[in-house]
Amino acid sequence: MERNFADVFEVAADAVPDREAVVCSDRRLTFAGLEERANRLAHHLAAAGIGRGDHVACYLPNGPEYIEAMLAAHKLRAATVNVNWRYVAEELRYLLTDSDAKAIVYDIRFAPILAQVVDDLPLLRTRLLVGGDYEEALAASSPERDFPTRSGEDLYVLYTGGTTGMPKGVLWHQAEILSGSLGDLDGARTRQEVAERARRGRDRALPACPLMHGAAQWVSLATLLGGGTVILDPEMRLDARRLVRLLADERVTVITVVGDAVGRPLADALAELGPGIDMSALRVVLNSGAFLSPPVKDALLAQLPGAVVYDVFGSSESGTFARTVSTVGETPAQGRFTVSERAAVLDDNLAPVEPGSGQVGRIARSGGVALGYYNDPEKSAATFPVIDGVRWCVTGDHATVDADGTIVLLGRGSACINTGGEKVYPDEVEDALKSHSGIADAMVVGLPDERFGERVVALVVPRSGDGPPDDLDGHVRRRLAGYKAPRAVVAVKAIERFPSGKPDYGWGRETARALLVGQ
């Protein structure tokens, strides 16, 4: 059979038609129900001229409609485009123009922003409003599964978050993303094998991040294609207490988090609600996209007997290809990963870094990587070089390689701080700050300095009081070289992050600069 999302889902839906596929608040869709609704939406889009290679924008919060839109587009050999629902009009105009979106499925709460830009989008053929005409459109469309033959080379599109410049559309063959990030169907290849795998599937997965983020899409697709159930929280703001109750009530087995932004409030809520909540079903805390600091891992594991924490590493361009596992009493050092045989750390000349040399390079992966960026051949060539006949994806993440082959992730090069010729990676300083019991959250940025070029500055969220703990500097210096210790520390009420959970370092630099004026 074709290694295509829609093909695999249809086999799973036929194998377990009465099993719950999506649960969101009081809405519960079986596989048969989700299949029918996706078929109806696909027929509606096809009637509007949407077909192979077209892009359908999803301007939606978490909900069944997001998954319906993804499946419907893939049934037509089209692809969805993830839209950040925090965008202002100018950002939305850019994304819908850059992606050549021909259709959009959007939530009624976002209608005023879309109205400001829709006249500037001549390619947009059809709009479907959730909370408006969406249900009427589905009711008027055919539920039949009568679509063109599909291919494993049909596209999957994921727009990056734009943390370093404007968002870029990453293009994947669906067969490659299946092998690169969705578990490779556990080796199933025939329709019978895929159906048997679905019948065995019992995962109940909750992505505690927006479906516009790759981590949430990947865990949701992997779960559905394996016959499991996706649990969605429809709220657009994190409420950790509500999340804990949802985990217990729905007997969730896997939760996906994005670093401390989700992990820390989740750990606090688990400690608060404590013995009254049955969390025995939860087996895996899957972390992706940002560091989950050791104190937070320890706090989660203490509240979740029998669970493990998986840190997975990758990118929108490379898929996931490295991981580390933490259990009670065994939390590996921050940023250390065991990688697949197709991964490497490359120097500036694109040659492999010698293990144990201490040399810093960039993490790269060959095989099962994205095709490139939509309409951007220059950036595609830079990110996906061919080396000795092998195509690689070279990420912007810097790392070293230990003698045993373990990679030690230092952080994204674009966030690296150069102070007096020494490189400081914010991640490791943030980790040291957050290991202090008096710090709830932290961000580290570089600000201009006449003497050193840049100086290390920390923004911290104290657990109590108005300022940072008195012993914070000594605490950091016991863990890191002195040049890495922040030259200035400012207290803030909260650390701003993108919807993906990744830190907004632009906000951090501006805030630190403003708070340090006159100091």
254 located within any domain? no
284 backbone dihedrals φ, ψ, rounded to 5°: -135, 130
CATH number at residue 128: 3.40.50.12780
33 located within any domain? yes
Highest mean pLDDT among 217-231, 312-326, 475-489: 217-231
- Domain span at residue 193? 5-197
29 located within any domain? yes
CATH number at residue 356: 2.30.38.10
- Residue 518 binned pLDDT confidence (cut-offs 50, 70, 90): low
Number of domains in the chain: 3
- The SS3 assignment for 448 reads strand
What is the reported pLDDT for 292?
86
Highest mean pLDDT among 178-182, 373-377, 462-466, 503-507: 373-377
Residues 15 and 101 in one domain: yes
Q: How far apart are CA 198 and CA 219, in angstroms?
A: 15
Residues 367 and 437 in one domain: no
What is the reported pLDDT for 275?
74
Residues 430 and 402 in one domain: no
Does residue 165 have a pLDDT over 70?
no
Does residue 21 have a pLDDT over 80?
yes
Residues 378 and 436 in one domain: no
Q: Tell me which of 148, 171, 197 is where a domain ends.
A: 197
**Can you tell me the mean pLDDT for 221-226?**
98
Per-residue buried b or exposed e for 116-154, using 16+ beta carbons within 10 Å of the residue's own CB: ebeeebeebebbbbbeeebeebbeebeeeeebeebbbeb
Which pTM does this prediction carry? 0.85
Q: In what order do the strands lie in the sheet with 372-373?
A: 155-159, 169-173, 372-373
Q: Which residue has the tokens 């990688």?
A: 339
Beta bridge partners of 461: 441
Highest mean pLDDT among 172-181, 218-227, 380-389, 465-474: 218-227
Q: Tell me which of 180, 197, 214 is where a domain ends.
A: 197
Residues 379 and 458 in one domain: no
Phi-psi region of 278 (alpha: psi -120 to 50; beta: other; left: phi over 0): beta
> What is the tens place of the pLDDT at every residue in 365-379?
998 899 999 999 999
CA angle 235, 205, 30 (to 5 degrees): 85
Phi-psi region of 6 (alpha: psi -120 to 50; beta: other; left: phi over 0): alpha
- Residue 161 binned pLDDT confidence (cut-offs 50, 70, 90): low
What is the reported pLDDT for 167?
85
Within a 10 A sphere around the Cβ of 396, how many other Cβ atoms? Answer: 16
Number of H helices, E strands in the chain: 16, 26
Q: Tell me which of 176, 197, 218 is where a domain ends.
A: 197
244 located within any domain? no
121 located within any domain? yes
**Can you tell me the mean pLDDT for 130-135?**
97
> What is the tens place of the pLDDT at every residue in 416-449?
888 877 778 888 899 899 999 999 999 999 999 8
Residues 485 and 448 in one domain: yes
Residue by residue, DSSP assigns 83-107 as --TT--HHHHHHHHHHTT--EEEEE
Residues 340 and 428 in one domain: no
Residues 496 and 389 in one domain: no
pLDDT-wise least confident of 137-141, 247-251, 418-422, 465-469: 418-422
pLDDT-wise least confident of 50-64, 208-222, 328-342, 460-474: 328-342
Q: Quote the tokens at residue 179.
A: 């092998």
Report the chain's C-alpha Rg in angstroms. Answer: 23
pLDDT-wise least confident of 30-39, 153-162, 488-497: 153-162
Residues 341 and 471 in one domain: no
379 located within any domain? yes
CATH number at residue 457: 3.30.300.30
228 located within any domain? no
Residues 175 and 84 in one domain: yes
410 backbone dihedrals φ, ψ, rounded to 5°: -100, -35
Q: Quote the tokens at residue 11.
A: 């086999």
Residues 55 and 159 in one domain: yes
- Residue 26 binned pLDDT confidence (cut-offs 50, 70, 90): very high
Q: How far apart are CA 234 and CA 122, in angstroms?
A: 31
What is the sign of the dihedral through the CA atoms of 335, 336, 340 and 341? positive
Highest mean pLDDT among 122-136, 167-181, 254-268, 481-495: 122-136
Does residue 164 have a pLDDT over 50?
no
Cα distances (Å, whole numbers) of residue 424 to 77, 284, 444, 509: 45, 32, 10, 15
Does residue 86 have a pLDDT over 90?
no
Mean of the per-residue pLDDT values for the chain?
92
Q: How far apart are CA 451 and CA 335, in angstroms?
A: 31
Percent of the chain predicted with pLDDT > 70: 98
248 located within any domain? no
- Residue 163 binned pLDDT confidence (cut-offs 50, 70, 90): very low
Residues 449 and 406 in one domain: no
Residue by residue, DSSP assigns 329-346 as TB-PPTTEEEE-TTEEEE
What is the reported pLDDT for 267?
94
